[in-house]
């Protein structure tokens, strides 16, 4: 094995963040070893790759921990920034970048790789938003470190969980008619997270004499309002009506974004400010060093489709039950922000049951059909009748077997999506709904050995109608889902007592 082919030792900062958490498994798949520097290593324990990467506690603003983390490393990835930490974030970024550069040089690191922001052509640095200005300064500090550095400069990254994409998602899904700031007409060049990760991994083996910034972007150049319309088309939403209004300042725009979406205002404002200027690649030199896939970089439509795949494939519910399921780089991770991955409404109920887990499971598995749904028969019948009225399946299908279920079985207007005998039953709704819905029932024991019944109703809304639907039926959840929890527990307890009465 030549020196050029040997596995590299890579330090990744920001592994608890969006891109860092996706970069680690890509580096591992490429055969490299990975050490993660994290302030809270515990946040990484739910990642599927957690057992294959080394994790050390530290902070990029702490010289001692950075020095220790750099020992023995070939490549150091700088994927952190202080955006959203307050007004002093530029100074924090400056200090952290200086420490990182100094310690990388002292440790003999062979390369630094940094993901920065794409800056507009012909615009002076003092005219940039604080967010872009800080990213530019960090890149300059790292390039001057004496360690060969690659600065990748990207505009909007398309991937479920990225702040830019989630802002796009929520704005488009929640507002069929939008009165928007003038920046929606600004041209940008988005890039898929899959392509960003491919380039980050490829930069680990750049020639030693490469010390420069590279513009990176996808094949599409379009306005933000075009992106919203393309998102609507891919997501199957009606065409959005967008009415730009020039009077909305970046501050007012960020307040508007904060009102409409759950993206925190501290993140929304710098993102909005960054959209004042066009951000388009002026060169594609990175392609000379990191060849792209045969089919080329992902188009915007395909990138959006991949980012939405978890929802479209009904995988949203599985992220709570299987952290080890195979993931695409665009899929949400357990450590993504709460607002990532699209809206998901949840009704959670839990009850201790005076019966064995086996007795409780028998009730759970026999649900539906002739046994009913253990709460307001009138409400369930009315819902089934309404579904039939609008062309849905209603409650006519019943169940295949009175006591046993298997994956794929139809169950009234549900279908069995997952079943783990004795432990978990998850149903996916097939009634007519403005969104996707699941009902999950689980049997477990608590720390004291008592039987526990856990129930969750999950709903992923489709557009504004979906949000309106959830809040319209929310007042009835206590009666329907609360009653269901109580009555399932009571049925299990009653069944458990029957053998005692027989003596």
Per the structure block, which two tokens stand in for 83?
């955006």
Mean pLDDT taken over the chain: 82
Q: Report d(CA 253, CA 181) in Å as an integer.
A: 6
Hey, which of 2-16, 18-32, 41-55, 100-114 has the most confident mean pLDDT? 100-114
Confidence of residue 78 (pLDDT cuts 50, 70, 90): very high
pLDDT at residue number 325 = 30
The four Cα atoms 159, 161, 163, 166 give a dihedral, to 10 degrees, of: 80
The average pLDDT across 473-488 equals 88
pLDDT at residue number 318 = 29
497 vs 473 pLDDT, higher one: 473
Strand partners, 436: 460
pLDDT at residue number 400 = 73
Nearest Cα to Cα of residue 52 among 74, 76, 30, 80: 30
The CB density around residue 363, as the number of other CB atoms within 10 Å, is 25
Question: Tokens 């294959």 appear where?
Answer: 52
| 198-252 pLDDT per residue, tens | 999 999 999 999 999 999 999 999 998 899 889 989 888 888 777 766 665 656 6
Percent of the chain with pLDDT over 70: 79
Q: Report d(CA 481, CA 376) in Å as an integer.
A: 10
* DSSP string covering 301-343: HHHHHHHHHHHHTT-GGGGGT-TTS---TTS--TTS-TTTTS-
Per the structure block, which two tokens stand in for 312?
């479209």
345-497 CATH fold: Alpha-D-Glucose-1,6-Bisphosphate; Chain A, domain 4 (3.30.530)
Give CA angle at 274 (268, 278), nearest 5°: 140
**368: helix, strand or coil:** coil
Confidence of residue 150 (pLDDT cuts 50, 70, 90): very high
**150: helix, strand or coil:** strand
What are the residue ranges spanned by the domains of the chain?
9-313, 345-497
The average pLDDT across 99-128 equals 91
| 349-403 pLDDT per residue, tens | 999 999 999 999 999 999 888 788 888 777 777 777 776 776 666 666 667 777 8
* 465 within 8 A of 434, measured Cβ to Cβ: yes
User: Is residue 311 pLDDT above 80, yes or no?
Assistant: no
Query: Which architecture does CATH list for 9-313?
Result: 3-Layer(aba) Sandwich (3.40)
464 vs 67 pLDDT, higher one: 67
pLDDT at residue number 25 = 93
Lowest mean pLDDT among 50-64, 353-367, 414-428: 414-428
pLDDT at residue number 467 = 87
User: Is residue 406 pLDDT above 90, yes or no?
Assistant: no
Strand partners, 76: 11, 112
Q: Report d(CA 4, CA 1) in Å as an integer.
A: 8
Q: Report d(CA 111, CA 39) in Å as an integer.
A: 23
Lowest mean pLDDT among 4-8, 152-156, 355-359: 4-8
Q: Report in angstroms the alpha-carbon separations of 131 from 58, 258, 303.
A: 24, 18, 25
Q: Report d(CA 40, CA 58) in Å as an integer.
A: 8
Per the structure block, which two tokens stand in for 15?
């592994």
Q: Report d(CA 137, CA 144) in Å as an integer.
A: 11
pLDDT at residue number 44 = 83
Percent of the chain with pLDDT over 90: 38
pLDDT at residue number 266 = 60
Burial class of residue 157 (count of CB atoms within 10 Å of its CB; 0-12, 13-18, 19+): buried
Q: Report d(CA 158, CA 441) in Å as an integer.
A: 34
Q: Report d(CA 134, CA 126) in Å as an integer.
A: 11
Confidence of residue 316 (pLDDT cuts 50, 70, 90): very low
The average pLDDT across 429-446 equals 88
Give CA angle at 366 (361, 368), nearest 5°: 130
pLDDT at residue number 378 = 72
């Amino acid at each position: 094995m030549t020196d050029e082919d040997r596995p590299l030792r890579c330090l990744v900062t920001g592994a608890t963040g969006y891109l860092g958490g996706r970069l680690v498994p890509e580096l591992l798949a490429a055969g490299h070893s990975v050490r993660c520097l994290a302030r809270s290593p515990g946040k990484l324990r739910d990642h599927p790759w957690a057992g294959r990467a080394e994790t050390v506690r530290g902070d990029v603003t702490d010289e001692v921990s950075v020095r220790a983390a750099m020992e023995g490393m070939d490549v150091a990835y700088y994927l952190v920034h202080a955006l959203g930490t307050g007004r002093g974030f530029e100074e924090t970024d400056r200090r952290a970048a200086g420490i990182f550069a100094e310690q990388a040089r002292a440790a003999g690191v062979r390369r630094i790789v940094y993901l920065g922001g794409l800056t507009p052509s012909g615009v002076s640095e003092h005219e940039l938003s604080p967010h872009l200005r800080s990213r530019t300064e960090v890149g300059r500090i790292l390039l001057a470190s004496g360690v060969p550095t690659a600065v990748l400069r990207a505009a909007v990254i398309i991937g479920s969980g990225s702040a830019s994409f989630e802002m796009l998602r929520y704005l488009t899904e929640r507002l069929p008619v939008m009165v928007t700031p003038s920046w929606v007409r600004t041209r940008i060049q988005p890039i898929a997270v899959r392509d960003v990760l491919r380039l980050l991994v490829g930069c680990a083996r750049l020639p030693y004499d490469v010390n420069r910034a590279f513009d990176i972007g996808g094949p599409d150049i379009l306005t933000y309002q075009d992106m919203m319309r393309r998102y609507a088309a891919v997501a199957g939403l009606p065409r959005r009506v967008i009415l730009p209004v020039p009077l909305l300042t970046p501050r007012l725009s960020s307040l508007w974004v904060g009102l409409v979406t759950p993206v925190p205002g501290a993140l929304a404002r710098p993102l909005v400010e960054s959209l004042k200027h066009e951000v388009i690649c002026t060169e594609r030199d990175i392609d000379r060093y990191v060849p792209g896939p045969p089919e080329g970089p992902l188009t915007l439509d395909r990138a959006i489709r991949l980012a939405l795949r978890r929802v479209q494939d009904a995988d949203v519910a599985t992220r709570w039950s299987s952290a080890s399921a195979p993931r695409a780089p665009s899929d949400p991770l357990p450590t993504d922000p709460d607002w990532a991955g699209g809206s998901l409404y949840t009704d959670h109920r839990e009850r201790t049951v005076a019966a064995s887990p086996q007795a409780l499971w028998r009730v759970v598995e026999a649900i539906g059909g002739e046994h009913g749904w253990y709460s307001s028969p009138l409400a369930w019948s009315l819902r089934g009748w309404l579904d039939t009225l609008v062309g849905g399946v209603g409650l006519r299908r019943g169940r295949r077997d009175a006591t046993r279920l298997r994956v794929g079985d139809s169950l009234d207007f549900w279908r069995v999506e997952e079943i783990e005998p004795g432990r978990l039953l998850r149903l996916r709704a097939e009634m007519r709904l403005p969104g996707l819905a699941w009902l999950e029932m689980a049997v477990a024991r608590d720390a004291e050995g008592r039987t526990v019944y856990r129930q969750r109703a999950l709903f992923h809304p489709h557009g504004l109608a979906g949000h309106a639907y959830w809040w319209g039926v929310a007042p009835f959840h206590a009666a329907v889902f609360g009653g269901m929890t109580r009555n399932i527990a009571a049925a299990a307890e009653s069944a458990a007592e029957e053998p005692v009465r027989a003596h």
